[in-house]
């Protein structure tokens, strides 16, 4: 869904996903992990600016991924973006083991572990995204299937860069602090909307409470572009519960519900 031309990044971000192309799914063990040495790769000429802006937020691409680890929410995308260009200029193949990340250098191999069922898969990052708050990686359909998240849509995962060794201090980048049980340390919320005017946020909160969603509140986020008033349901401490709440909200007509991580 992405393109090598980062001038299109803002438009791509509206789709809020990422896309991939790479090693065929039948080229590795059934576990989805590489054995032995990784395929040799060289830094892509596309998709690696020092920084780029999507939806008003600037992202800084890492020059070195040594020791990179991260925990957060993974999502996936499929046929809608199959055949489109990625940020690296490659074509997205939903059946390839690839992924998108906002700041890792392109390409790089990472191991993705589903913290809910223990499954792991190795993917090649060749795209940018996902540009949804709280999500750290977008997986191809094939990778998501191996991790067991095609039905739920999202899962809490840990990602770690392969083949780059470790820095002396093993740099750890955290979307959610690393711990035995992520959901017990950092709560999840369901964001229903974000508004420039507080009254609009209050009106939505009132609608939710009338729909018997009582655990809802408005919080103010101050930025360089002004204040935004976010309407959120929560906190929740388990992604399965969060997905259940989203389904309930959408059944009530609140189609904009999405999972975010507490700042």
Determine how β-strand 69-76 pairs with β-strand 135-139: parallel
Domain end residue (candidates: 134, 156, 180): 180
Q: Which pLDDT value is given to residue 36?
A: 43
CATH number at residue 221: 3.30.70.1070
Q: Are 138 and 127 in contact (CB under 8 A)?
A: yes
Q: Which pLDDT value is given to residue 134?
A: 78
Q: Which pLDDT value is given to residue 42?
A: 56
d(CA 14, CA 82): 17
d(CA 218, CA 197): 11
- Report the SS3 class of residue 244: helix
In a shared domain, residues 23 and 84: yes
In a shared domain, residues 119 and 232: no
Q: How many CA atoms lie within 13 A of 26 on its CB side?
A: 0
In a shared domain, residues 167 and 51: yes
The two tokens of residue 213 are 């969603």
Has residue 1 been placed in a domain? Answer: no
The per-residue pLDDT string of the chain (263 residues; one tens digit each, 9 = 90 and over) reads: 444 444 334 334 333 433 333 333 333 444 555 444 455 555 556 677 888 888 888 888 888 888 888 888 899 877 788 888 888 888 889 899 999 999 999 889 999 999 889 999 999 999 998 988 778 999 999 999 999 998 888 888 999 998 743 332 333 333 333 333 344 356 788 889 999 999 999 899 889 888 887 788 888 888 888 889 999 888 887 777 888 888 889 889 988 888 887 66
In a shared domain, residues 152 and 199: no
Closest by CA to 20, choosing from 69, 87, 108, 73, is: 87
In a shared domain, residues 55 and 172: yes
55-91 pLDDT, tens digit each: 888 888 888 888 888 888 899 877 788 888 888 888 8
- Residue linked to tokens 């200029």: 89
In a shared domain, residues 18 and 120: yes
Neighbours of 82 (CB within 10 A): 17
Stated pTM of the model: 0.55
d(CA 105, CA 126): 8
Count of domains for the chain: 2
In a shared domain, residues 221 and 111: no
Domain end residue (candidates: 124, 152, 180): 180
In a shared domain, residues 192 and 241: yes
| 36: containing domain | 6-180
- Report the SS3 class of residue 62: coil
In a shared domain, residues 160 and 203: no
Furthest-apart CA atoms within the chain: distance in Å: 58
Cis peptide before 137 (omega within 30 of 0): no
- Report the SS3 class of residue 2: coil
């Amino acid at each position: 869904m992405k393109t090598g031309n980062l001038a299109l990044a803002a438009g791509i971000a509206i789709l809020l996903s990422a896309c991939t192309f790479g090693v065929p799914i039948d080229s590795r063990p059934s576990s989805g992990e590489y054995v032995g040495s990784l395929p040799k790769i060289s830094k892509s000429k596309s998709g690696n600016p020092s920084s780029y802006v999507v939806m008003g937020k600037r992202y800084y691409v890492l020059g070195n991924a040594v020791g990179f680890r991260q925990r957060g929410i993974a999502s996936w995308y499929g046929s809608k973006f199959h055949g489109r260009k990625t940020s690296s200029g490659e074509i997205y193949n939903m059946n390839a083991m690839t992924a998108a990340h906002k700041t890792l250098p392109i390409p790089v191999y990472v191991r993705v572990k589903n913290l809910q069922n223990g499954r792991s898969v190795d993917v090649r990052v060749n795209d940018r995204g996902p540009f949804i708050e709280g999500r750290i990686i977008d997986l191809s359909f094939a990778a998501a299937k191996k991790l067991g998240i095609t039905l739920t849509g999202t899962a809490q995962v840990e990602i770690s860069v392969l083949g780059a060794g470790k820095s002396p201090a093993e740099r750890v980048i955290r979307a959610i602090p690393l711990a035995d049980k992520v959901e017990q340390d950092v709560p999840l919320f369901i964001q229903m909307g974000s508004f420039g005017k507080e009254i609009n946020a209050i009106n939505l909160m009132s609608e939710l409470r009338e729909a018997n969603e009582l655990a809802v509140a408005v919080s103010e986020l101050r930025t360089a572009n002004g204040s935004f008033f976010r309407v959120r349901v929560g906190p929740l401490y388990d992604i399965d519960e969060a997905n259940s709440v989203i389904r309930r909200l959408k059944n009530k007509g609140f189609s904009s519900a999405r999972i975010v991580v507490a700042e």
